[in-house]
Amino acid sequence: MKKITYIILGMSLLALSSCYKKDNWAEPDVQIHGNIIDFYTQKPLLSSQGDWSIRYWEKSWTESAAQPRELPVKQDGTYNNNKQFAGAYDMLPYGGPFWPVVDTVRSVAFGGSTQQDFTVTPYLQVVDLTTSLSGTDLTITCRLKAPKRVGLPNLVEVKPYLSLTTFVGESNYINIAEYNNKRIQINKSWIDENGNVETSKLYTIGPLPVKSGYTYNVRVGANVNDANRKYNYSEIKQVIVP
Amino acid sequence: MNKYIMKRNILLYMVLLATAFFACQKLDLEPKGILGQPELFGNEFGVKKYFTSIYDYLPIEDFNYYGNNNPDGGNAFRPDNYWQAGKNSLGNCSGEFFNTWQGVNNVGFGYWPYDRIRDLNVFLRDFPTYEGEFTSTVYNALVGEARFLRAFFYFGLAKRYGGVPIITSVQNPTAPRDSLEVPRNTEYDTWKFIYTDLQFAIDNMRTSSEFGRANKYVAAALMSRAMLYAGSVAKYTTYMNYGSERAYAGGFAGIDPSKANEFFQYAVDAGKVIEAGPYQLYTKNYPDKALNFANIFLDPGSTENIFVKDFDATAPRNTRLQHNYDAMMSPQPDMVSEVGTESYPPFDFMELYDMPTYTNPDGTPVRFTNRSDIKTDMEPRMKGTMYFDGDVLRGKTFSIQKGIYMTYTGTAADAQAGSNGAPINSGTNRLLGARGATTVINGVTMNITGTHGHFSFNADGENNGWGAAFVRKYINPGMTIAEAKLWNSTTPWIVFRLGEIYLNTAEALYELGKRNEAFDYIEKLRIRAGCKVPRPAIDASTSNIGSINKANYPYQIEKSLQFIRDERVRELYGENHWWWDIRRWRTADQILNNFRHRMLSAYYVANEGKYIYLDEVNRNNRSWTANKTCFYEPIPGGEIGKNTKLLPNNPLY
Quickly state the pLDDT bin for B26 (edges 50, 70, 90).
low
The pairing of beta strand B493-497 with beta strand B305-309: antiparallel
Q: Is the pLDDT of residue B25 over 70?
A: no
Quickly state the pLDDT bin for B461 (edges 50, 70, 90).
low
Alpha carbon distance B439, A176 (integer Å): 30
The reply to whether residue A187 touches residue B240, judged by beta carbons under 8 angstroms, is no
Phi, psi of B25 (to 5 degrees): -80, 105
The pairing of beta strand B386-387 with beta strand B470-471: antiparallel
ipTM of predicted assembly, 2 dp: 0.85
Q: Looking at chain B, which residue has its C-alpha nearest residue A210?
A: B421
- What mean pLDDT comes out for the span B507-533? 97
Residue B165 forms contact with A (CB below 8 Å): no
Alpha carbon distance B189, B473 (integer Å): 37
The reply to whether residue A177 touches residue B621, judged by beta carbons under 8 angstroms, is yes
Name the least confident of A58-67, A89-98, A172-181, B383-392.
Answer: A58-67
- What mean pLDDT comes out for the span B197-207? 97
Q: Is the pLDDT of residue B458 over 70?
A: no
Name the least confident of A52-56, B188-192, B448-452.
Answer: B448-452
For chain A, give the mean pLDDT.
91
**b/e burial code for range A223-234 (CB count within 10 A of at least 16 → b):** bbbbbbbbbbbb
Q: What pLDDT shows up at residue A13?
A: 77
| A29-38: pLDDT as tens digits | 999 999 999 9
Q: Looking at chain A, which residue has its C-alpha nearest residue B552?
A: A187
Q: Torsion over CA of A210, A214, A215 and A221, rounded to 10 degrees?
A: -30
Q: Is the pLDDT of residue B73 over 60?
A: no
Residue B507, amino acid = E
Phi, psi of A204 (to 5 degrees): -115, 125
Please tell me what DSSP assigns to residue B415. G
List the single best residue of B420, B543, B598, B617 to mutate versus A (max A Cβ within 10 A): B617
Q: What pLDDT shows up at residue B152?
A: 98
Q: What pLDDT shows up at residue B1?
A: 52
| B265-291: pLDDT as tens digits | 999 999 999 999 999 999 999 999 999
| B334-379: pLDDT as tens digits | 899 988 888 999 999 999 999 999 999 999 999 999 999 999 999 9
- What mean pLDDT comes out for the span B206-231? 96
Q: Is the pLDDT of residue B17 over 90?
A: no
Burial of B545 (0-12, 13-18, 19+ CB in 10 A): middle
3-state secondary structure B156-179: HHHHHHCCCCCCCCCCCCCCCHHH
Transcribe B278-322 into DSSP letters: T-----TTTT-HHHHHHHHTT-TT-TTEEEEE---TTSPTTSS-S
Residue B652 forms contact with A (CB below 8 Å): yes
* Shortest CA gap A160–chain B (Å): 13
Name the least confident of A20-24, A218-222, B175-179, B439-443.
Answer: A20-24
The reply to whether residue B552 touches residue A209, judged by beta carbons under 8 angstroms, is no
The reply to whether residue A175 touches residue B623, judged by beta carbons under 8 angstroms, is yes
Q: What is the pTM of this model?
A: 0.91
B405 three-state secondary structure: strand
Residue B591 forms contact with A (CB below 8 Å): no
Name the least confident of A79-88, B64-73, B423-432.
Answer: B64-73
* Shortest CA gap B362–chain A (Å): 23
Residue B609 forms contact with A (CB below 8 Å): no
Residue B176 forms contact with A (CB below 8 Å): no
- What mean pLDDT comes out for the span B576-604? 94
Residues A187 and A154: beta-carbon distance below 8 Å? yes
Quickly state the pLDDT bin for A43 (edges 50, 70, 90).
very high
For chain B, give the mean pLDDT.
92
Residues of chain B with C-beta less than 8 angstroms from the C-beta of A177: 417, 419, 596, 617, 621
Percent of chain B with pLDDT over 90: 75
Comparison of pLDDT for A15 and B150, the residue scoring more: B150
- What mean pLDDT comes out for the span B20-47? 80
Q: What pLDDT shows up at residue B23?
A: 58
The reply to whether residue B241 touches residue A102, judged by beta carbons under 8 angstroms, is no
Transcribe chain A into DSSP letters: -HHHHHHHHHHHHHHHHTT----SSPPP-EEEEEEEEETTTSSBPP--TTSSEEEEEE-S--SSPPPPEEEEPPTTSEEEEEEE-SEEEEEEEESSSBSPP-S-EEEEEE-SEEE--EEE-BS-EEEEEEEEEETTEEEEEEEEE-S--TTPPPEEEEEEEEESSS--BTTBS---HHHHTTSEEEEE-HHHHH-S-SB---EEEEEEE--TT-EEEEEEEEEE-SSS-PEEE---EEEE--
The reply to whether residue A95 touches residue B652, judged by beta carbons under 8 angstroms, is yes
The reply to whether residue A227 touches residue B628, judged by beta carbons under 8 angstroms, is yes
